[in-house]
Structure 1
């Protein structure tokens, strides 16, 4: 991330998928909508189910994707937000509580940071690390349902969070491969979380929605209720399994099987093969959701994204499996990205939006801290003025 002469923010995202490695570069100038200025992609031959299985091929694919994006954008990037997903990702919900200090018990950004840190202290195996601590809601003096406690008065601050953990080895392998390709890693982001930034609305998050990101090797599951992430998981099956089934069923090559899968009007035999595997994937996702959140109220239904979401009949089949409304998640929020609205690019575009939010949040936090320091100073002087003198 850097700042150009026009005071524009340049942010880059890198989606490491089983099918492709995709890099995208966006520019945001002042309050204008962000604009996509560069995109590059390369076939992913060294990644399976989100994990690196061939480091050299992965480094090459990353380098090619980044180079293409830089050439198109006319800028060089120094760091990326990298999206990860796969069976090495796990999650749990946790809570934390802190006493509020400071003048008069006013809650500041530091108090919010402390309670999130407390909630994020969970036991994880020695070979895992915490990737995200995502706030679901806060409580001040027992009053729950608070989205942001900063500026409120209280003595006890609580937080409910969603903690995402990952295999240390998997994250290090990904980061090392990106560094070897000549780019730094600004942050590592859960793929489904990134996709949610690109395809979900605030209303859907509030009402309750399940996002299914059907990739080549895995299907990521993310459930949002009350704007917070309540569950994240994955099914170890994806679009490549559908392709393999077609290849076996028709006794044909992988390339021909992929072509048959993507055909707008597949033959009856292909349609039956696709339906059987897709129904299995969707049923496993449904089981996960209602096992972990048996009373989940998904008022906004299901949103499908990822390359597998574009398979003919996927939306109708999901409506049947979940017995609720389903829509295709297409990316929005960018200028000059009409050709990238496809669900296949949801993760990489979401990484850009996530990065922009992180930068904006950092700026807001710094501004809030300045305001709080000023308020504490003024409040302290007022208290001294009101104190009786001897």
Structure 2
């Protein structure tokens, strides 16, 4: 979408288990996003990142889009949409091509990426992202941008992310029901990483862990490139559910208690610290020791990080993460999360949230909105990649795209 001032207007819709967040932004200067429209609506009909009730999900999405349109004054016709859920899988692949003219051009890169996609993918899955990592030209590896180099044989290392076709189509259908076309689906942790990672962390080796309501999303970056992605079907809602069972509360009450009194480390709570809650079947509120609440939370959070550790080990990159973990997502707001993550994983951990935002940002300065804001950065990169509007000055700092990589950006993304 363009506006009269010809600065790109970008739109992202983050469809999560707990909320749908539609953002409309204008890009100003080099790193600044001016948020023009915000539409935040509680999610209905979505569990663990998957649509379980089409009509309810469509209504939530339509309401969120409508709010964003009303606050921004723009009509939304297309948007980038976030994707999560345990149906997402990834594989690393290589593509090899011969260079006919002796000098590598864009077509050779495109052919190599196409060759890398020739992996056996079941018929019920579709490719969401093909992300180039590095190139090998005539045996020389670690090449970032091969265009213009001399060579006879080129290999590309690519990270291919696939998702269940039916789930993706259901999501597309819900967004289209609100009159909006999906420009591209973006995996949650990739969107979050765009906002929370520094270039140094990407180079050193880091894992992004986005803990939402229904899913925990991981992405491992090494040498500036994406090496591994994974979505686990556990999240903040499981903690709420445990509190509801343990203290015999309704889900809404449990969520409220978690947000107000929750802590992820039992030993950090004073022994005589009590809170009052109204359990099922009780006339008057009852006193509950806050340590009991922390005990319930700690058990579940520890389990989530054990699963994360297991996944990092399974990827084989656990020794390559000196920058540790960047924790984001709504559940990372729980006090004690950072310290517990650090002790379970044995890595340095920091909690991150979106920065460099102006405009309607009151609610957005929170880790819960990292994916939502990250989608805007992806939308910007896609608009940068269109040869019709080469606006390099709007690239967020920390994303080093030279001319050739801008041309290749779409090829890097499109299946």
TM-score (ref. length: structure 2): 0.85
1:60 aligns with 2:75: no
* Residue aligning to 1:187: 184
Equivalence for 2:286: none
CA–CA distance in structure 2, aligned partners of residues 56 and 349 of structure 1: 26
Match of 1:137 in 2: 134
Q: Which residue of 2 aligns with 1:207?
A: 204
**How far apart, in 2, do the equivalents of 1:338 and 1:210 lie?**
28
Which of 327, 340, 344 pairs up with 1:304?
327
| 2:237 paired with 1:237 | no
2:284 matched residue in structure 1? none
> Secondary structure of the equivalent of 1:152?
coil
Structure 1 stretch 31-40 or stretch 230-239: which is displaced more?
31-40
What is the Cα deviation at residue 154 of structure 1? 1.5
Q: Compare relative contact order (CA 8 Å, sep 6+) and give the higher one, 1 or 2.
A: 2
Residue 270 (structure 1) aligned with residue 293 (structure 2):
yes
In structure 1, what is the Cα distance between the partners aligned to 2:197 and 2:103?
A: 33
Q: Could you tell me how far 1:117 is from its partner in structure 2?
A: 1.6
Where 2:323 maps in the other structure, the secondary structure is: coil
SS of corresponding position for 2:32: coil
Instruction: Tell me which moved more, 116-125 or 176-185.
Output: 116-125
Closer, same or farther: CA 5–365 of 1 in aligned 2, 3 Å: closer
* Residue aligning to 2:266: none
Q: CA deviation at 1:260?
A: 1.4
State the alpha-carbon separation in 1 of the partners of residues 41 and 262 from structure 2.
27
Gaps of 5+ in 2: 264-289, 392-402, 408-415
Tell me, yes or no, if the aligned pair for 1:234 and 1:285 is still in contact at 8 Å. Answer: no
- Give the match for residue 354 of structure 1: 378
CA 1:338/1:144 → structure 2, altered by over 3 Å: closer, same or farther? farther
Distance 1:366 1:149 in 2: 21
Give the corresponding residue for 2:81.
Answer: 82
Q: Please list the CA deviations of residues 178-230 of structure 1 after superposition, one character each: whole Å capped at 9, or x if unmatched.
A: 00111111111111111110111111111000111101111111111111111
- 1:67-100 CA-to-partner distances (Å, cap 9, x unmatched) read 1111111111110100010111011111111112
When the two chains are superposed, the root-mean-square deviation of aligned CA atoms in Å is 1.9
| Structure 2 match to 1:320 | 343
Report what 1:22 is aligned to.
Answer: 21
Unpaired stretches in structure 1, ≥5 consecutive residues: 373-390
Equivalent residues in 2 for 1:51-200, closer than 5 Å: 51-102=50-101, 105-200=102-197
Shift of 1:163: 0.6
In structure 1, distance between residues paired with 2:342 and 2:120: 38
In 2, the alpha carbon distance for the partners of 1:335 and 1:110 equals: 40
Q: Secondary structure at the match of 2:213?
A: coil
Q: Counterparts of 2:146 and 2:24 in 1: how far apart (Å)? A: 34
**Structure 1 pair 136/364, CA: closer, same or farther in 2 (3 Å)?**
farther
Structure 1 residues 148 and 167: alpha-carbon distance in aligned structure 2, compared to 1, 3 A threshold: same
**In structure 2, what is the Cα distance between the partners aligned to 1:72 and 1:330?**
23
TM-score by length of structure 1 reads 0.90
Q: Per-residue deviation at 1:122?
A: 1.1
Contact 2:76 2:180 in 1 (8 A): yes
CA distance in 1, matches of 2:118, 2:224: 22
Query: How far, CA to CA, are the matches of 1:155 and 1:97 in structure 2?
Result: 11
CA distance in 1, matches of 2:127, 2:382: 18
The 10-residue stretch of structure 1 (263-272 or 159-168) with the greater mean CA deviation from structure 2: 263-272
1:358, distance to aligned residue in structure 2 (A): 1.5
Relative to structure 1, is the Cα distance of residues 43 and 176 closer, same or farther in structure 2, using a 3 angstrom cutoff?
A: same
Larger helix percent: 1
Shift of 1:234: 1.9
